[in-house]
Amino acid sequence: MSAETDTSWDEDVRVAVYRAFAEHGRPPTAPELADAAHGSLAVAKQALHRLAERRHLVLDECEHVVLAHPFAAIPLGFSVMGERTLWWGGCAWDAFAIPHLVKGEPEVLVSTRCRGCGEPQALMVNDRTPPKGGLVAHFLVPVARMWDDVVHTCANQSLFCGESCVDEWLAETGQDKGYVMDLATLWRLAAGWYDGRLDHGYTRRDPAAAAAYFEQAGLSGPFWH
């Protein structure tokens, strides 16, 4: 079996990963991965590494899928509960994206804590209108550096009670302010970002298309370049 032939199965493996998360709230099992690569777990693992290199997913040192945005295999501060499935949301962005991507769950309960004061927060998020409330999202890492350490990036896209909690948390941690947005802007950012990711033939946006998407969501400036 040539490497070239193996590469042709990458898309089947990618879809298997995303659909396992979408349908079951977890990464695919070894047999499910093998099935996606026509019975070969070794070929599936090779595909996972190529997919990680192309930023379709994130692996840990044991070749386990940690992130397949908007889904996470590890807790990063958000739980997302639908009628039938419970997910870890990788971040505020991803938690808000799940009801837009998983059409069988058009409304979910997003639960987290304010990163600043620790106050529990729960929001009903759907694919029709932004949730109400005065919470804000703070993104620490600018777009150009988000993939330098994507787990760190996701862990620092958080919800806060308000901008005063953001400022207090930044002062306590000694970090520079990133970008603060309201819930409506976060919802617009999440709404269409992952369109098509559960289907064959998905392609990631190039930088120009990403910039246009951010601008349409109401996000501009150096942080989003």
Query: Over the stretch 51-98, which tens digit does the pLDDT of each residue have?
Result: 999 999 999 999 999 999 999 999 999 999 999 999 999 899 999 999
| 140 neighbors 134 (Cβ within 8 angstroms) | no
Mean pLDDT over residues 118-125, rounded?
98
What is the DSSP secondary structure assignment for residue 129, as one 8-state letter?
A: S
Q: Name every residue whose Cβ is closer than 8 Å to that of residue 82 and which is 6 or more positions away in sequence.
A: 98, 99, 102, 104, 105, 107, 108, 109
Which residue among 25, 49, 68 closes a domain? 68
Q: Residue 6 pLDDT more than 70?
A: no
Q: Is residue 222 part of a domain?
A: no
Residue 220 lies inside a defined structural domain of this protein: no
Give the CATH number of the domain where residue 7 resides: 1.10.10.10
Specify whether 56 is located in the same domain as 107: no
- Clarify whether residues 12 and 94 are in a common domain: no
From 121, 93, 81, select the one nearest 181 (Cα to Cα).
93
**Total domain count for the chain?**
2
The answer to whether position 218 is within a domain reads no
Q: Report yes or no on 221 lying in a domain.
A: no
pLDDT of residue 73: 96
**Bigger pLDDT: 126 or 1?**
126
Write out the residue range of the structural domain in which residue 136 sits: 72-213
Domain check: are 131 and 202 in the same one? yes
Assess whether 133 and 156 both reside in one domain. yes
In a domain, 224, yes or no: no
Query: What residue type is assigned to position 100 of the chain?
Result: H
Residue 203 to residue 1: CA distance in whole angstroms? 26
Given 49, 68, 87, which residue is the final one in a domain?
68
Residue 133 domain-assigned (yes or no): yes
Does 185 lie in the same domain as 89?
A: yes
> pLDDT of 135-180, one tens digit each?
999 999 999 999 999 999 999 999 999 999 999 999 999 999 999 9
* Angstrom distance (rounded) from CA 48 to CA 37: 11
- Could you tell me if residue 171 is inside a domain? yes
Span 170-220, pLDDT tens digits: 999 999 999 999 999 999 999 999 999 999 999 999 999 999 999 999 999
Q: Are residues 184 and 127 in the same domain?
A: yes
Domain boundary among 68, 92, 110: 68
Given a contact cutoff of 8 angstroms between Cβ atoms, the answer to whether 6 and 47 are in contact is: yes
Q: Same domain, yes or no, for 121 and 137?
A: yes
CATH code for position 127 = 3.30.450.410
For the chain, the helix, strand and coil percentages under 3-state DSSP, each to the nearest 5 = 40, 20, 40
Residues 189 and 114 in one domain: yes
Q: What is the residue whose two structure tokens read 């990788």?
A: 90
- Say if 12 falls within a structural domain: yes
Same domain, yes or no: 198 and 115: yes
And the tokens for 122?
Answer: 């729960």
Phi-psi region of 39 (alpha: psi -120 to 50; beta: other; left: phi over 0): left
